[in-house]
């Protein structure tokens, strides 16, 4: 069978679909979803049946990897059976999950049995009290337990994503790197982006990856690691003697748009080709008007054809979408 390949106007291969399963989250992170925001009602979310159909069509077109995100994907009811259904889509090579980890311990076995092996866990602090301040909940121990369970179960890689914010958690940059030395996890530092709670984002809180790297030198030299095709936008390093690795995701200081292979499906059922550009296509309405698979495929192709060459946030463009709805 010929290998299917989806390419956009800038010759980027689009092979990765990120799906926001719900806009709801059980945490209230100060920079993301601080207050209970107006939520989509059940009928506004795509049903699992609709999601499986759309994802199947995307896989037929050439998508190879799907990431489930949100909001918090593990708070959506019956998510386990959906993931099992997803694992049956032939041609889908890789199912990944991004989670805040609160329910991870409970879902570990099911996720593993459904073939999920790669987990991203968001954790912005290693201090329980600070965790409560940032997220509005006292769930640090649950998240930590989730990480321990995931490592013990054999998920690999387990990536721990911390959004670096000056004056909020930058005194822990080195502690996170130590974690990657002591355990076989990948700690990834993410640059704080101007999306989400506009009241909290500020240039003074933004820390470029170059500064983080410089601050980690106290632990030793950062040696670059060879990366594989589907590894994503992080630049990955190891520190001599460390069991794990350290990654930097630098959407602002080192735009990786020229390598972007992503398409997104928002929790409101809209197709979006760039996290930081608000242009979307209304897939849900088309689906619910009884569209054929060919018509749905056509909308996917149109979305990819409209994928911008790069985001313009560093040139002052702002993004009004909510991270939880788009899928972070
Ligand atoms: N609930 C899941 C979780 O916590 O991983 C998935 C959704 S969450 C929106 C995905 C990721 O987006 C989290 O790691 C979060 O820290 C990150 N995020 C949210 N707002 C951000 C911002 N303004 N800049 C950088 N990362 C952000």
Q: For residue 131, what is the domain's CATH number?
A: 3.20.20.70
Ligand 1 atom having least distance to the Cα of 100? 4
Residues with CB under 6 A from ligand 1: 25, 31-32, 69-70, 72, 98-100, 122, 161, 163, 190, 192-193, 195-196, 201, 323-324, 328
Instruction: Tell me, yes or no, whether 9 lies in a domain.
Output: no
Total structural domains within the chain: 1
Per the CB < 8 A criterion, the answer to whether 165 and 192 are in contact is yes
* Residue 215, both tokens: 């601050």
Helix H or strand E segment including 96: strand 94-99
Instruction: Tell me, yes or no, whether 161 lies in a domain.
Output: yes
Instruction: Tell me, yes or no, whether 180 lies in a domain.
Output: yes
Three-state secondary structure of 200-226: CCCCCCECCHHHHHHHHHHHCCEEECC
Instruction: Tell me, yes or no, whether 3 lies in a domain.
Output: no
Residue 126: give the domain boundaries.
16-326
Instruction: Tell me, yes or no, whether 246 lies in a domain.
Output: yes
140-148 long-range contacts (CB < 8 A, ≥24 apart) are: 142/101, 142/102, 142/103, 142/105, 143/100, 143/101, 143/102, 143/104, 144/101, 145/105, 146/99, 146/101, 146/102, 146/103, 146/104, 146/105, 146/108, 146/121, 147/101, 147/104, 147/121, 147/123, 147/185
Q: What is the pLDDT of residue 195?
A: 82
What is the 121 CA–ligand 1 centroid distance (Å)? Answer: 10
Q: What is the pLDDT of residue 128?
A: 98
For the chain, which residues score pLDDT lower than 50? none
Instruction: Tell me, yes or no, whether 10 lies in a domain.
Output: no
Instruction: Tell me, yes or no, whether 126 lies in a domain.
Output: yes
Instruction: Tell me, yes or no, whether 186 lies in a domain.
Output: yes
Q: What is the pLDDT of residue 98?
A: 98
Per the CB < 8 A criterion, the answer to whether 277 and 289 are in contact is no
Ligand 1 site-directed mutation target among 121, 163, 202, most atoms within 8 Å of CB: 163
């Amino acid at each position: 069978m010929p290998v299917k390949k989806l390419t956009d106007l800038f010759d980027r291969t689009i092979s990765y679909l990120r799906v926001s399963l719900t806009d709801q989250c059980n945490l209230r992170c100060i920079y993301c979803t601080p207050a209970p925001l107006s939520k989509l009602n059940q009928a506004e979310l795509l049903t699992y049946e609709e999601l499986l159909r759309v994802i199947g069509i995307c896989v037929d077109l050439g998508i190879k990897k799907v990431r489930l995100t949100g909001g918090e994907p593990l708070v959506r009811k019956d998510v386990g059976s959906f993931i099992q259904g997803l694992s049956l889509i032939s041609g889908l090579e890789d199912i990944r999950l991004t989670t805040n980890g609160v329910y991870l311990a409970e879902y570990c076995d099911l996720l593993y049995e459904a073939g999920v092996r790669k987990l991203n866990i968001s954790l912005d602090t290693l201090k329980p009290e600070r965790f409560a301040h940032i997220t509005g909940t006292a769930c640090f121990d649950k998240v930590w337990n989730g990480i321990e369970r995931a490592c013990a179960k054999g998920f690999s890689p387990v990536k721990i994503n911390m959004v670096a914010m000056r004056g909020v958690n930058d005194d822990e940059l080195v502690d996170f790197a130590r974690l990657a030395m002591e355990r076989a996890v990948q700690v990834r530092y993410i640059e704080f982006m101007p999306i989400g709670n506009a009241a909290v984002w500020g240039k003074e809180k933004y820390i470029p990856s170059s500064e983080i790297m410089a601050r980690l030198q106290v632990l030793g030299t950062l040696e670059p690691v060879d990366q594989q095709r589907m590894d994503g936008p992080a630049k990955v390093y190891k520190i001599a003697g460390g069991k794990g690795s350290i990654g930097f995701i630098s959407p602002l200081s080192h735009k990786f748009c020229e390598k972007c292979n992503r398409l997104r499906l928002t929790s409101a059922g809209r197709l979006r080709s760039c996290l930081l550009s608000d242009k979307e296509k209304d897939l849900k309405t088309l689906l619910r008007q009884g569209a054929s698979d060919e018509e749905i495929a056509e909308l996917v192709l149109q979305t990819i054809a409209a994928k911008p060459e790069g985001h313009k946030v560093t040139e002052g463009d702002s993004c009004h979408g909510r991270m939880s709805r788009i899928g972070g």
